[in-house]
Structure 1
Amino acid sequence: MLRRQDVGHRVVVRRIVGVSQDRPLFTDALGELVELTETDLTLATPKGTLRVPLNEIHRAKRVPAARRPPAADVVALELAANEAWPAPTQATLGSWILRAADNWTGRANSALPIGDPDRTLEAAIDAVEQWYAAHGQRAMINTPMPLAAPVNAALDSRGWTARPLTLVQTTRVTTMLEATTARPDLPTVELADTPTDAWYAMVADHKGGLPPTGRRIITGVREAVFASVLDPGGTPIAVARGVITGPDRWLGLSLIQTAPSARRRGLAAHVMRAVGHWALQQQAPRTYLQVEERNTAAVALYQKLTFRTHHTYLTREAPL
């Protein structure tokens, strides 16, 4: 049977799904073990997240990992992503990064446990909890997988919960552009160095609000572009944000949104294409985005645009 140290690794699970002629029927599932509790386990599979009660499992074991990026590549991309979404309050715990932003978005209000925290793992988690308590916030930790598998296992033992699995997906900018076509039938994408009030308003509607801290995060990167598609009345119906960070000059795509009344017209790909052309002019060769696995419509779109999962992460939350 699997153990907590198997979290973050590739496993196969044989599950009992019924009985035929007094003999059990089985089905197998292969994926990344992202959570293991006393009652069930959760796998991230190519078809989505699968939760399996432990009492339905006949056999389960770790299997050789599929081809994964080197740990150094995961760290480099996570650091570029941290620069792209800069929390106004940051501190370090050895190589770990502690971030706070008045609770606006999980990314800006969670610790990033990469590298050595200069103390034991248990002491590091204690320090994270104390730091967030001092800032009046619930402690959260983002755990890139499988890099942070030991952290995940330790958090499981402390009763930390997990938000839905997030996919960090990448592709080359030129490959993304080759997968799209120019759309002269759609309104022109407008690119600006700073967001307009209407651009902010669309983001606020989607995020359930946009405090001053949120605006600081959105505009906190030097190389940035803000894309908009406007309806005839001048109101944004699609927006996106692109920033370039890290020594490898990654293009980070975020806040890709389409108004409900304008969906299924190709506007999301339209704004992403415009930001991609801007990135090539800035000599940014590769791009990434972060999307919850359960957002199947967005995942399907990004797959068409040649994005593939580089790694995943869970946002873990301390018990209340």
Structure 2
Amino acid sequence: MRAADGFTGRANSTLTCGDPGVPIREALAAAERFALRHGIAPTVHVVVGSEHEPAIADAGWRVNLDHPGGAESQVMTGPLEKFASGVAVSRDLPGWWDMTTGSEVTAAQRHVLGSGGNVCFASLTDNGTVVAAVRGAVVEDVLHVARLAVRPSHRRQGLARRLMGEVAGWGLERGATTCALQVAVDNQAAIGLYEELGCTEHHRYRYWTPAGS
């Protein structure tokens, strides 16, 4: 169960995996109480095709079709050594936050994106302005990549590929061997890039909420 003042779906949902130890309806009720207690929307994070999906639907929960990131996302994984390049990352850049979250950075955003020892923020600038950015975090031997963004005026110039190479090189230096990332299933441009870097689909997930919530 995770709560972070509403910032990102993963950080404000209950992950469903394994046996909850109680009937599914009781587990969902606990998730709903947790969410209401923390002032966030009741949400469960469900792997597509998992054994829990039918029971969650039978309990009156529905896929959140209005989720800002899209109703369905896929997790992709791949070996870092295939696309790692030179390392040019920074621990914190004001322009990075402006690029990925907006000018007003909340405490929840800083906690979700900045907490942990092995976290980096890579960015590229043009005339002093950040035009592309990405976040990387190493957990054991996996580099988790997130918040990849390129300004519309600088797209189709290879900046996303360059950033991915830099953050992959940073991850290799810290013992990571595998990359993991999430992307909306309708973001074909990003999926195409990740596939070119050697990443493949591992699984898909969706967020479910109580019907009528």
Q: Same fold (TM over 0.5)?
A: yes
- For structure 2, the residue ranges without an aligned partner over 5 or more in a row are 66-70
**Distance in 2 between residues matched to 1:240 and 1:111, nearest whole Å:** 25
Q: Which structure is richer in relative contact order (CA contacts within 8 A, separation 6 or more)?
A: 2
- 1:242 aligns to what? 136
Classify the secondary structure of the residue corresponding to 1:112: strand
Q: Which letter does structure 2 place at the counterpart of 1:191?
A: V
- 1:216 aligns to what? 111
TM-aligned CA deviation for residue 145 of structure 1: 3.2
Q: Which TM-score applies when normalising by structure 2?
A: 0.90
Aligned equivalent of 1:132, options 14, 20, 35 = 35
- 1:175 aligns to what? 82
**Distance in 1 between residues matched to 2:155 and 2:24, nearest whole Å:** 46
- For structure 1, the residue ranges without an aligned partner over 5 or more in a row are 1-97, 183-187
Provide, for residues 48-98 of structure 1, a one-character-per-residue CA deviation record: whole Å limited to 9, x for no partner.
xxxxxxxxxxxxxxxxxxxxxxxxxxxxxxxxxxxxxxxxxxxxxxxxxx0
**Distance in 2 between residues matched to 1:228 and 1:135, nearest whole Å:** 33
**Distance in 1 between residues matched to 2:104 and 2:56, nearest whole Å:** 30
**Distance in 2 between residues matched to 1:176 and 1:229, nearest whole Å:** 18
TM-aligned CA deviation for residue 176 of structure 1: 3.1
1:254 and 2:146 matched = yes
- 1:101 aligns to what? 4
Provide, for residues 84-120 of structure 1, a one-character-per-residue CA deviation record: whole Å limited to 9, x for no partner.
xxxxxxxxxxxxxx01111111110000012222211
The answer (yes or no) to whether the contact 1:143–1:315 under 8 Å persists in 2 is yes
TM-aligned CA deviation for residue 281 of structure 1: 1.2
Provide, for residues 147-188 of structure 1, a one-character-per-residue CA deviation record: whole Å limited to 9, x for no partner.
x332x21222204233421100000001234xxxx7xxxxx9
The answer (yes or no) to whether the contact 1:230–1:238 under 8 Å persists in 2 is yes
1:283 and 2:175 matched = yes
**Distance in 2 between residues matched to 1:223 and 1:253, nearest whole Å:** 12
Q: Which letter does structure 1 place at the counterpart of 2:13?
A: S
Over 3 Å off, 4+ runs: none
**Distance in 2 between residues matched to 1:203 and 1:212, nearest whole Å:** 15
Provide, for residues 168-209 of structure 1, a one-character-per-residue CA deviation record: whole Å limited to 9, x for no partner.
0000001234xxxx7xxxxx974112x21111111124xx96
CA gap 1:100/1:282 in 2 versus in 1, 3 angstroms: same
Q: CA RMSD in A?
A: 1.8
Provide, for residues 264-285 of structure 1, a one-character-per-residue CA deviation record: whole Å limited to 9, x for no partner.
0000000110111111111211
TM-aligned CA deviation for residue 210 of structure 1: 3.8
Classify the secondary structure of the residue corresponding to 1:271: helix
**Distance in 1 between residues matched to 2:23 and 2:83, nearest whole Å:** 42
The number of aligned residues is 206
1:202 and 2:99 matched = yes
TM-aligned CA deviation for residue 139 of structure 1: 0.6
Larger strand percent: 1
The answer (yes or no) to whether the contact 1:189–1:270 under 8 Å persists in 2 is no
TM-aligned CA deviation for residue 231 of structure 1: 0.5
